[in-house]
Structure 1
Amino acid sequence: MLVVGLLLVVAVGLAAAATLTWWLTRIIEADNPPVGRLIEAGPARIHLVDLAPETPPGTGAGTGAEPPAVLLLHGANVHHADMRLALGERLSRRLRVIVPDRPGQGFSGEGGPVVSDPGHQVALIRTAVEKVGAKRLVVVGHSLGGLIALRYALDEPGTVAGLVLINPTTHPRPGGLPWFQRVAEVMFGRPLIWTVLLPASLPMMDRMVARLFRPEPPVKDYAARTGLAVGLTPRRFRNSMTEYSDLRNHLVAVAPRYPDITVPTVVVVAEADPIVPPALHGEVLAKVLPHGRVVRLPGAGHMAHHRHAEAIAAEIERLAGLPLG
């Protein structure tokens, strides 16, 4: 009877936690609604924000043609607002900027069970980009979004005018994932994702933000302004965990193809990034790119696109062919 009683208590507790998670998810989504367009992209709808330039952009890359649009691809556990607020609004003064929620994040659908596959994500994003009429792109990716940007250049070379990669995830770690990530994959299985993860994580939001930005201080009100809690809701967090668990296999498969990328590429490495160490990723990538250039940010952490936005935006504008100004 004691065992039965304990099981009943656990079941009731999990049911209560699941109800609380459902309620919190509804509140978080209402506080951070889709602000862009929902584009049908085959098996999924892609949510994207399309920012028109405030002033005529002139011409790009000395061709006499309109400059390319900028496609901003966010990293893991966040959605489009991270890149829009860091770079999108700044760049849209002079360039067209397209900022999607990557498949499975924000208000974009998964498009099937292979949401972690970079090629699948590129296909969905590319369809959405075509439907809003953008042809040539400078593709900018942060962290895991850097991997998607690299795959975009490999899969859609005719549409990419250049790449800017900010602390990109590019190569498998020697020896596999750190032990704490392997433990997290086991601990954050489906039952916990749909029950206790969200209510347990919200009180620790400030600590999470500090870890993202370290060793630099976070920008003010980062979590609230970017809707960081959206990435902790069950569906999005489940997709993030799938990306993490499948990441090594995707990196092993794509890394040998990097020398095939022939477009101008700027690799921005934050030298103090503890999350995606440049010595294992960005610095290694730059050595194999035919037209790669490294921009190093001494003392910068993983969220360099927020703390060093002006310097990074200048690199993007330069690659788009705009005169400095």
Structure 2
Amino acid sequence: MLVLGCLLLVAAVLAAFAALTWRLTRTIEADNPPVGWFVDVGPARIHLLDLPPGEPAPPEPGAVDRPAVLLLHGANVHHADMRAALGERLSRRLRVIAPDRPGQGFSGEGGREVSDPGHQVALIRAAVESVGAGRLIVVGHSLGGLIALRYVLDEEGSVDGLVLINPTTHPRPGGLPWFQRVAEVVFGAPLIWTVLLPASLAMLDRLSTRLFRPEPPIRAYAARTGLTLGLTPRRFRNSMKEYSDLRNHLEAIVPRYPDLTVPTVIVVGDADPIVPPALHGEILAKVLPRARVLRLPGAGHMAHHRHAEAIAAEVERLAGLPPP
């Protein structure tokens, strides 16, 4: 009887947390509504922001259209992270397209293979084509850097340049750190759909600080980027799937890197503890035929927020714009 009573108590507690998580999710989605376009691309509906240039280049004899900028966000966030960091700044002079990657934000998964970079690229490419974008500068941060690399490898004919910001590029020697392996087991479906969201909201400031370390977070980062949206069950589940499958996808793509010939800028925060450059960006730079490295001394993982001007200047240079 004692065991049965304990089981019933646990079930009641989890049910209460599940109801709380459901209400919190509805509130978070209402507070961070979709602000862009929805594009149906076969098995999924992709949500993307399409920002026209605020200062379009005046027509000149023989002038060519400038490429658009495709911003690909990292894990556990959605397009608002890249919009807040770079989107508004770059859209002063260039068209900017910022999608929610499949399974994140308000984009659908498009199938169980949501963690596969090739699957994501196919959906994003179809969405980009549907809004009439032609040539691109592709910009990816963190895990979005892996998607950006796969995008260019699969669609190189449509890409004029690539900018990678603290990108995830290579399998970590020895596999994932122990705490990530534990997280994959602990944060199974029961906890993702019950206690994860309330617990995360209680430590939101600490989460922001951890993302930016050793630099301080930007003011009101969580509010400006809708950080809580990525903590809701469906989206967090998809992020965990990306993490668990990441090593296999990295091992598959690494041999293709030397085939990437577009001009590439690899931005590395040399103090990034989340995606250490010595294990990722610095190694990638050695095998890409047309890569240069922009090192940011003292910068952490969220360098696109803290060093936006330097990164925006690289994007504009690749797009053929003169300095402002």
TM-score interval (norm. to shorter): over 0.9
How far off is 1:59 after superposition?
A: 8.0
Report the Cα distance in structure 2 between the residues aligned to 1:59 and 1:120, rounded to whole angstroms.
Answer: 38
Alignment partner of 1:75 is 2:85: no
AA matched with 2:134: K
SS at match of 1:40: strand
Name the counterpart of 2:168: 169
**Does the CA contact (< 8 Å) of 1:163 and 1:264 recur in 2?**
yes
Between the aligned partners of 1:100 and 1:59, the Cα distance in structure 2 is 29
Task: Specify the SS of the correspondent of 1:288.
Answer: coil
The code of the aligned residue for 2:55 comes to: T
Letter in 2 for 1:265: T
Residue identity in the other structure for 2:323? L
What corresponds to 2:23 in structure 1?
23
- What is the RMSD computed on CA atoms of the aligned residues? 1.2
Following the alignment from structure 1 to structure 2, what is the Cα–Cα distance between the partners of residues 245 and 59?
49
Cα–Cα, structure 1 residues 211 and 190, in superposed 2: closer, same or farther, change >3 Å?
same
Q: Which runs of 4+ in 1 moved over 6 A?
A: none
Q: Which residue number corresponds to residue 87 of structure 1?
A: 86
Correspondence for 1:267: 266
The residue number in structure 1 matching 2:122 is: 123
Aligned to 1:136: 135
Alignment of 1:304-323 (within 5 A): 304-323=303-322
Deviation at residue 254 of structure 1 after TM alignment: 0.1
Counterpart in 1 of 2:37? 37
- Provide the residue aligned with 1:114 in structure 2: 113
Q: Tell me the distance in 2 between the aligned counterparts of 1:231 and 1:54.
A: 29
Q: How does 1:252-291 map to 2 (within 5 A)?
A: 252-291=251-290
- Summarize the Cα distance change of 1:59–1:187 in structure 2 as closer, same or farther, 3 Å threshold: farther
Matched, 1:300 2:299: yes
- Decide whether the 8 Å contact of 1:59 with 1:322 is kept in 2: no
Alpha-carbon distance, 1:55 to partner: 1.0
- Name the CA distance, whole Å, in 2 between partners of 1:115 and 1:58: 41
User: Deviations for 1:83-127, whole angstroms, at most 9, x for unmatched residues?
Assistant: 001000000000000000000000000000000000000000000
Q: How far off is 1:64 after superposition?
A: 2.7
Q: Measured at CA, do residues 234 and 59 of structure 1 come closer, stay the same or move farther in structure 2, by a change above 3 Å?
A: farther
How far the C-alpha of 1:57 sits from its partner, in A, is 2.9
What are the Cα deviations for residues 114-170 of structure 1, in whole angstroms up to 9, with x where unaligned?
A: 000000000000000000000100000000000000000011111111100000000
TM-score in terms of structure 1 length = 0.98
Aligned residues of 1:59 and 1:67 also touching (Cα < 8 A): no
Cα distance between partner residues in 1 of 2:158 and 2:147: 15
| Displacement after TM superposition at 1:56 (Å) | 1.4
Cα deviations by residue, 1:193-213 (Å, 9 ceiling, x for unpaired): 001000111010000000000
Q: TM-score, normalised to structure 2's length?
A: 0.99
Structure 1 residue ranges without an equivalent (≥5): none
Q: Which residue of 1 is the match for residue 50 of structure 2?
A: 50
The CA deviation at 1:284 is 0.3
Check whether the contact 1:59–1:321 (CA below 8 A) recurs between aligned residues.
no
Report what 1:242 is aligned to.
241
How many residue pairs get matched? 324
Distance 1:264 1:2 in 2: 67
Distance 2:140 2:57 in 1: 22
Partner Cα separation in structure 1 for residue 199 and residue 57 of structure 2: 46
Distance 1:317 1:58, change over 3 A: farther
Query: Aligned equivalents of 2:272 and 2:8: distance in 1?
Result: 46
Distance in 2 (CA, whole Å) between partners of 1:157 and 1:38 is 25
Q: Partner residue of 2:223?
A: 224
What is the distance in 1 between the residues matched to 2:261 and 2:58?
Answer: 25
Q: In the alignment, does 2:188 pair up with 1:189?
A: yes
For the 8 Å contact 1:46–1:128, the answer to whether it is kept is yes
Q: Supply the distance in 1 between the matched residues of 2:266 and 2:57 (Cα, whole angstroms).
A: 24
Tell me which residue corresponds to 1:155: 154
Give the letter aligned to residue 37 of structure 1.
W
Do the aligned partners of residues 58 and 69 (structure 1) sit closer, same or farther apart at CA in structure 2, a change above 3 Å counting?
farther
Q: Is the 8 A contact 1:51 1:98 kept in 2?
A: yes
Identical amino acids, percent of aligned pairs: 80
